Amino acid sequence: MVIAGAFSSSFILAPPSTTVYSVSKSGRPWCAYLRRMKPRMEAQAQAKPKEAKLWGGRFEEGVTDAVERFTESISYDKQLYKQDIMGSRAHASMLAQQGLMSVADRDSILKGLDEIEKRIENGEFNWRTDREDVHMNIEAALTDMIGEPAKKLHTARSRNDQVLTDLRLWCRDAIDRILRGIKHLQVTLVELALKNEGLIVPGYTHLQRAQPVLLQHLLLAYVEEIERDAGRLVDCRVRMNFCPLGACAVAGTGLPIDRFMTSNALGFTAPLRNSIDAVSDRDFLLEFLSANAITAVHLSRLGEEWVLWASEEFGFITPGDSVSTGSSMMPQKKNPDPMELVRGKSARVIGDLVTLLTLCKGLPHAYNRDLQEDKEPVFDSVKTILGMLEVSAEFALNITFNKDRIQKALPAGHLDATTLADYLVKKGVPFRTSHDIAGRSVALCTLKNCQLLDLSLEELRSINPVFEDDVYEYLGVENAIEKFSSYGSTGSACVASQLDYWTKKLEMK
C-alpha cells in the first residue's frame, strides 16, 4: 500500500503500482511520514488474529477496537472474581448432580477454578480486554486450562443471571463490611462520651443557643442515627439475599436444573421466583445505595459539627496533629481536613445513588446493556462510605474537648430560660403564660447584661409574684440539666441509662 496526498492535512490510499512523489504545502516530501508509519503498519500486518468471542458463532466479523474498548467492563468488574468463581463452583456441582455433566468434568472444572483463583490472588492472572468481562475472562482461561469440559460450565446460565449472582454476593459481603465500620464508629463515640462525663455544652436549634445538653447526650444522638443506618442495611441485605442463578437470559431453561441447590450452596434464602425479574431489576442496588447515601448524610452532619467546633469562633474541640493538616501558605493554620472531606465525600455517595436511579429509569424488561453501568457507582459508593466511617472513627479517637472554653461559653444565650418556664408550670401557671413570663425575665437580663441566675427574687417578682426562693434550684445550666427527667432527655440519670444500654448492646467492656 502506498500513500499519496496533496496536502499535509489530507491524504488518500493509492494502489501498489502508484508512484509516490507528492509533497506537503511546504514542499517537503512524505518520506518522513512514511518512515514514521512503517513500524506501525508492519506490526499490524504481523498481529495475530483476534480471539473468537465465546458468543461469536453467529457473527462473521469481530467488533472494532473502538467498540471493544467502549464496551469492555473487565477494567472494573474484575473485582467480582471471587463471587464469580463461587457461583461457578455451585453451578458446576448442581449440573453434575442433575446429570448435565459428568462427575469427572465437574472435578476438572472445580480444580481449574481453584487454580485460577490462586493465580488471581497472586497477581499472576492475565486479565484480557478482548475477553470483555470477568465472566468471559475466567471461563476462557478455564477453557485454555482444561479444554472441552470447561465448555459445559455455561450450561443453563447466561451472563445476565451470572452477573446478578455475583453482584448480590458482592453487595452482601460489602454490607457486612459497612456494618462492622458502623459498629466501630459507634464504639468510638460511646468511648468518647464515657471520657467526658458531666461535660455540659450548648444545645443549638437554628444554630442559635437553645438549651444546655450533656456532651454525652449529643454524641449518643449520632450513635442512634447510624444505628438506624445499620438497620436499613440489615433490612436491605434480607431483601437482597435471593438467588438469580438459573434464571438464564430472560425465560429460564428447559434443562432439568435445581435452582434451590445452587441457592442453598451460595447461602441465599431462596431462588428468585420470576426469571424476568431476576435478570432485569436493580432495586436491591438502589436500596443499598440509598442506605449508603443516608449514612453519608449523617456522617456529613457529624463532620460539619466538628469542623465548626474546631474553629476559633467556637473553640470547643482541638483535633490532634495526627488528624489535622496545615496550610501551604499560612503557617499558623491547623485544619480539620478529614472531617471536611467526610462532609464533601457525602456528595459522591449521593451522586452514586442518583446515577443508578437515572440509569434504571425507563428501561424496558428484561436485561439491557445499559445495566453494565450499574457496577462503578456501587463500587464507588461502598469504597467511599467505608472510608468515611473509618476516618470519622479515627478523628473521634484524636480530639480533645476544651472544657474551660466550653464552660466560659455556657452563660451566653440564657440556656436555662425553658427550665424557668417549666418551674412556673409546676407552680400552676399555664405554659403560654409561663413562656411569656420567662421571656420578660430574659428581656430584663438583656437590659441589665446579666444571667437569669443573677436576678434577685424582688426583680423576678416584679415580673410576676408567683416566684419563690426555690426558683434558684432551676436556674444555671447545672441545675437545668438536673431537672430534665423525661425518657430520652439530657438529664444525667437519663443519659447514664442510655450509656448503659449502648455499652451492653455494643458489647463494650
Instruction: Give me the active site residues, please.
Output: 206, 327
Biggest CA pair distance of the chain:
117
For helices 283-309 and 337-360, the axis angle rounded to 10 degrees is 160
β-pairing, 399-401 vs 317-319, is antiparallel
Q: Given the C-alpha cell 478529614, which residue does it identify?
A: 338
| 140-153: burial string, b at 16+ Cβ within 10 Å, e else | bbbbebbeebbebb
| 118-139: burial string, b at 16+ Cβ within 10 Å, e else | eebeeeebeeeebbbbbbbbbb
Torsion of CA 83, 87, 90, 91, to 10 degrees: -170
CA-angle at 122, arms to 116 and 125, nearest 5°: 45
99, β-bridge pairs? none
Nearest residue to 223 (alpha-carbon basis) of 198, 196, 189: 189
- Are 72 and 66 contacting, i.e. CB atoms less than 8 angstroms apart? no
Question: Which residues contact residue 491 at a Cβ distance below 8 angstroms, ignoring those fewer than 6 apart?
Answer: 481, 482, 483, 484, 485
Nearest residue to 378 (alpha-carbon basis) of 469, 290, 463, 471: 290
200, β-bridge pairs? 214
Rounded to 5 degrees, φ, ψ at 421 are -65, -40
10, β-bridge pairs? 7
CA distances from 329 to 311, 334, 337, 491 (A): 18, 12, 16, 46
Strands (E), 286-433: 317-319, 399-401
3 state SS of 66? helix
What H or E segment, with its residue span, contains residue 302? Answer: helix 283-309
What H or E segment, with its residue span, contains residue 2? Answer: strand 2-7
| Cell numbers for 443 | 428581656
From CA 58, how far away is CA 364, in angstroms rounded?
25
Torsion of CA 451, 457, 461, 467, to 10 degrees: 90
